[in-house]
Amino acid sequence: MPNFLNYSFLGNTILQYSEVLFSIVAALIFKRFISKRCAVLLYNKLVSRSNKNLRKAAFVNLIIPPLDLFLLLLVSFIALDKLQYPVELNVKVYKISLFQIVDAACNMALILSFIWLCLRVIDFMAMVLHEKAIQTADQTDNQLIIFFKDFFKAILIIVGVLLILRFSFNKDIGNLITGLSIAGAAIALATKESLENLIASFIIFFDKPFTVGDNVKVNVFSGTIEKIGLRSTRIRTDEKTYISVPNKQMVDSIVDNISLRTQRKGFLQLEISLTTTAEQLQIITPSIQQILRKPEIENISVFFKETGKNAHIFEVNYYTRINQTLADFNMLREKINLEIISFLSTHNIILAGTNVGITNIKQP
């Protein structure tokens, strides 16, 4: 038996092959147990104190597949490194030896499995931060999580590619980065507008002129912010269309954030006939003020604005609570208009013009 174990085959003894095979089989058997223990340990370090409501099973199921593969490859490559590569198999393929190809493939597989593991960790950290973000009223946190998750994933993939070029293809990363810097400068000039939109997205995220869910008016469009991306902001307009506005334009333009207003404003302009007597004009202001004294209305402004050759003009402004819905505000405005018309009719106050009377300005 000892003689059989010492028998040499392709440059290695049977005993050496047996040790390598035993190590790989042991890794296959115990990798799931070790992966679970590592995943639970990582969960306890990263999550349990900061967010106890997040399910541990979700994290374990997320981490175990790449961790299983990484541990199996790591143990297998360490074990195989103990063997002498057979000289008989060291043939050349297009000036590259088969040993170099196998070594490059092993390094690439190990790096890819490690990058996959890191990507899953980033997904989990984003999930933890999302659990915290949904507990706050500010929707900007959710957008930042999505943005930085994609950003760090892109950085990690770039790092993975550089590691593969360095350890699998023996490329000098320093010279490569220098070349990429020169090429990057040329690309930056060619994609100037895209970079401006990217920078504008950072300004929107940190300056917070608006967030997802806000009702805004920009240029000739008004609607609700549905998504803030890296290049553009998506708005669902009042006509229920879906538009994309470049972030640079959202930063450079005057954006009216209607959601941040403190009150709703109602406006009414009364054009009274010139035949109206002074006694009738004197009762208009206090009577309208009395009509406007309602629980929903917080501020009132009624005054005789001007008179001229066509009409006596009264201006009426009133402000309601912001927690009032648009439908309720429109109903209140209709009620006020009808009450004012009834008052004018009762006191025989005639509106100027044949078809011109009460002029309403549409609520923005």
Q: pLDDT of 217-233, one tens digit each?
A: 988 888 999 888 778 88
State the Cα–Cα distance between residues 299 and 302, nearest whole angstrom: 10
Q: Label residue 355 by pLDDT band (50, 70, 90).
A: very low
Closest CA to 107 of 64, 155, 169: 169
- How many angstroms from the chain centroid is the CA of residue 351? 54
Q: Which long-range contacts (CB under 8 A, 24 or more apart) does 323-327 make?
A: 324/264, 324/296, 326/363
**36-50: string of b/e by CB count within 10 Å (b at 16+)?**
eebbeebbeeebeee
Class of the 261-360 domain? alpha beta
State the Cα–Cα distance between residues 69 and 81, nearest whole angstrom: 18
Closest CA to 160 of 214, 122, 198, 199: 122
pTM of the model: 0.51
Mean pLDDT of 24-36: 82
Q: Are strands 255-257 and 263-272 parallel, antiparallel or unpaired?
A: unpaired
Phi, psi values for residue 263, rounded to 5°: -150, 160
Amino acid 234 reads R
Mean pLDDT of 283-290: 94
Q: Which residues, other chains included, contact 347 with Cβ-Cβ below 8 Å and sequence gap of 6+?
A: 280, 283, 287
Q: Which of the two residues, 126 and 92, has the higher pLDDT score?
A: 126
pLDDT for the residue numbered 138: 60
Q: Which two tokens stand for residue 77?
A: 């490559």
Over pLDDT 70: what percentage of the chain? 79
pLDDT for the residue numbered 208: 80
Q: What is the pLDDT of residues 309-351, one digit of tens each?
A: 789 999 999 999 877 777 888 999 999 999 999 999 999 999 8
Hey, what CATH topology would domain 211-259 get? Answer: SH3 type barrels. (2.30.30)
Domain coordinates in residue numbering, the chain: 2-189, 211-259, 261-360
Which of 102-116, 184-198, 286-300, 346-360 shows the lowest per-residue confidence on average (mean pLDDT)?
184-198
Q: Which H helix or E strand runs over 267?
A: strand 263-272
What's the DSSP call for residue 212? Answer: T
pLDDT for the residue numbered 357: 44
- Bridge partners of residue 299, in order along the sequence: 319
Q: Give yes or no for residue 253 having a pLDDT over 80.
A: yes
pLDDT for the residue numbered 88: 63
